[in-house]
Amino acid sequence: MRPSIYGYMRIVARVSDPEEAERIRRELSEYAYREGFSLCDVFTEDSTCSESGFSAMLDALKESEVRDIIVPSLWHFARLPGLQEAMKHHVEHETGARIWVVQGESK
């Protein structure tokens, strides 16, 4: 049985497109499978939604045994490189999770 991994993505309102979101989900699922995981849930940050996908992901990590997260790129955490690394570090430090990045270096 493959270990579970969570996905996380940010959808920008002006380009929010159900087909784009589904394409990203497929990309995350395929990458997770290639790396030996089963994608069990994808948390989505969407500026049109009042609930924070990032907070929901952190809560889920703290309440489950899942310890891996896959993101399309660190841009999905933030646009500024320094903030991307800060958010990545925050997630890893707060939850003990390992972050896998589809576009770029993994881990």
The CATH number of whichever domain residue 73 belongs to comes to 3.40.50.1390
pLDDT over 60 at 37, yes or no: yes
d(CA 56, CA 62): 10
Question: The tokens of 12 are what?
Answer: 């920008």
Can you give the pTM of this predicted structure? 0.86
CB 59 within 8 A of CB 65: no
Answer yes or no: is 106 within a domain: no
CB 17 within 8 A of CB 50: no
How confident is residue 71, by pLDDT bands cut at 50, 70 and 90?
A: very high
Share of the chain above pLDDT 70, in %: 88
Winning range, highest mean pLDDT, from 3-17, 30-44, 92-106: 30-44
Q: By residue range, what is the domain housing residue 76?
A: 4-101
Answer yes or no: is 107 within a domain: no
CB 64 within 8 A of CB 9: no
- What's the structural domain count of the chain? 1
Q: Where are the alpha helices (DSSP H) in the chain?
A: 18-34, 53-63, 81-95
Picking from 14-18, 34-38, 59-63, which range would have the lowest pLDDT averaged per residue?
A: 14-18
